[in-house]
Structure 1
């Protein structure tokens, strides 16, 4: 916030009004950290015993800040908004693409494994892009004012930046059209983000990965034939699906404003 906290927002924050969503509350807290006048306004709204407690706490904290140990050096910019958990899964996804490429080279008579795993590669990284169960720093990151869809999108970009170049190289070496693997991968990523605003990113990735496996990978393995969905005639449908899922993900951006949606 570049100006002071509005009176209505400060009153809602002081009263614990549930109508004030998590992101707005974090914005107020971030402003209070650097604005003494707004902290004084907030203290004036508290009962006298609470004001006394706040004053004593402030004095103790200032004393500790002056005499306590110095903070550790800050992390690099990219480290602050990514974390290591999605990076490890991105490496796993790249490894899966490389394994699929080797399978294609060893068994060219079977359906392309690269095409079959292309949508699953980014999903595996997105599954842990925003999850309290896989990120050891989840509580800290969840308390950031810029947490939510923006952080999820940044971590999705990290996953895509690792998997898409690998898929591109594998597709070019195999002579496959980029549209055959790129559009399903983008659609799967957008669909995961859209559904993730409703049931959580990890669950969304699991549901979509299971659906892709059951409807595409299993039939391809059983019939040893390329499913129509990943043939050239399916490209227009994938293009439309990618646009629709991207729009839906943006429409559902508010689904990431509440902690209960981040599982």
Structure 2
């Protein structure tokens, strides 16, 4: 591709549906065509010289025109909302907030006999559920449509993850103030787990990554807290380790940022 527009050879290969076209170039062409009328005209001219393509486009157009004529485009505000959230994120976030409230109640009542505050045990790991709802096939009924758009990929995932953190971090900060849990003790592990989920999600899928990290959190933090009354990984001395996990997760995420663009997959 040139600095401005795809080359004639690239447009020709895209029009013919060449299977050898690299995935990153395929997505780059589609993203460019979305906003460039001149290149769309080049694409139409190229397709006009291919009888099979012309016949296919005619069949598709004839089938879609009746429905398109009766439909209305989504409002711009609605399109912006879908870039930051999904239909299933709201109930998941509400559930996480409810779990946080229960953790605060347990901490402030005599019914909790553990040696570690339940807020500290749960707050770092709860955003994983929101991240899973942000980009997982089984939790988003519109996942296929979203993942197939040119603008899908890491930027979309990051926007939705930011929505999760923007909702949950203030709630957990309030819970920490009510229970006396230090900010750094839950915030740094929370960010580290979120970054690790996104980084690992580029390899095995976000849903699987959050599940794996949830199991590891239960084994390494929740189990010792329940059985021994302590959580060594959440002590102040463990904060440098969590900072290292956060830096490593961000580094892997940046290094593999194309994984979310070239392979939507069962994420």
Normalising by the smaller structure, the TM-score range is: 0.7 to 0.9
Q: 1:99 aligns with which of 99, 102, 123?
A: 102
Which range moved further: 142-151 or 108-117?
A: 108-117
Structure 1 gap ranges (5+): none
The 8 Å contact of residues 43 and 54 in structure 1, kept in 2 or not, is answered as no
Structure 2 counterparts to residues 2-151 of structure 1, below 5 A: 3-13=4-14, 14-21=16-23, 23-27=27-31, 30-31=34-35, 35-44=39-48, 46=50, 49-50=51-52, 52-53=54-55, 56-57=58-59, 60=62, 64=66, 68-74=69-75, 75-81=77-83, 82-107=85-110, 109-110=113-114, 111-151=116-156
TM-superposition CA deviations, 1:158-215 (whole Å, max 9, x none) = 1111111111001111122100000000000000000000000000000000001011
Counterpart in the other structure of 2:177: 172
TM, length-normalised to structure 1: 0.86
Helix, strand or coil at the partner of 1:39:
helix
Q: Please tell me the root mean square deviation across aligned C-alpha atoms, in Å.
A: 2.8
Distance 1:172 1:76 in 2: 35
The 8 Å contact of residues 220 and 226 in structure 1, kept in 2 or not, is answered as yes
TM, length-normalised to structure 2: 0.85
Query: How many aligned residue pairs are there?
Result: 259
Distance 1:207 1:43 in 2: 46
Distance 2:17 2:240 in 1: 53
Could you say if the C-alpha distance between residues 80 and 218 of structure 1 is closer, same or farther in structure 2, counting changes exceeding 3 Å?
same
Structure 2 counterparts to residues 179-190 of structure 1, below 5 A: 179-190=184-195
Helix, strand or coil at the partner of 1:226:
coil
TM-superposition CA deviations, 1:7-51 (whole Å, max 9, x none) = 2321331232343315225325525777552233331552xx325
Distance 2:146 2:57 in 1: 28
Alignment of 1:255 with 2:256, yes or no, is: no
Structure 2 gap ranges (5+): none
* Per-residue deviation, 1:71: 1.3
